[in-house]
Amino acid sequence: MSQRISRQNARRQQRRAGGISLDEEQFAWDAYAQVAPGGHFLGSQHTRRHDQMAFYQHKIFVMDNYKKWEAEDSRDSLSRAELGDSVACRRQEIQASYSR
């Protein structure tokens, strides 16, 4: 298994191990007060404060449906990870050449 896939799995497990916080901020009472019945929370201040923390975007695993995946790329996770590793290695080589 690629090291890149292993690192992503480790990060995901670390996030899960942190558990769920049950403080006032997580319950979002301020958002309920701000949004009228029938409205949506996407524009609320609470959502904007938390949108980057709430959703983890994989760099390797594709979350699209099958038809979109097939039309756009259709590479499996292992080939994506290997490509990512080769790009990372090349980046390190380039950075090393600049530091000489």
Residue 68 pLDDT more than 70? Answer: yes
> Rounded to whole angstroms, how far apart are CA atoms 76 and 5?
12
Residue 70 pLDDT more than 80? Answer: yes
What mean pLDDT value characterizes the chain? 77
- Cα angle 72, 80, 75 (rounded to 5 degrees) comes to 40
> Rounded to whole angstroms, how far apart are CA atoms 80 and 8?
13
Helix (H) or strand (E) holding 13: helix 3-17
> Rounded to whole angstroms, how far apart are CA atoms 61 and 28?
30
Q: What is the pLDDT of residue 54?
A: 59
Q: What is the pLDDT of residue 55?
A: 61
Instruction: Indicate the pLDDT class of residue 13, thresholds 50, 70 and 90.
Output: confident
Does residue 96 or residue 38 have the better pLDDT? Answer: 38
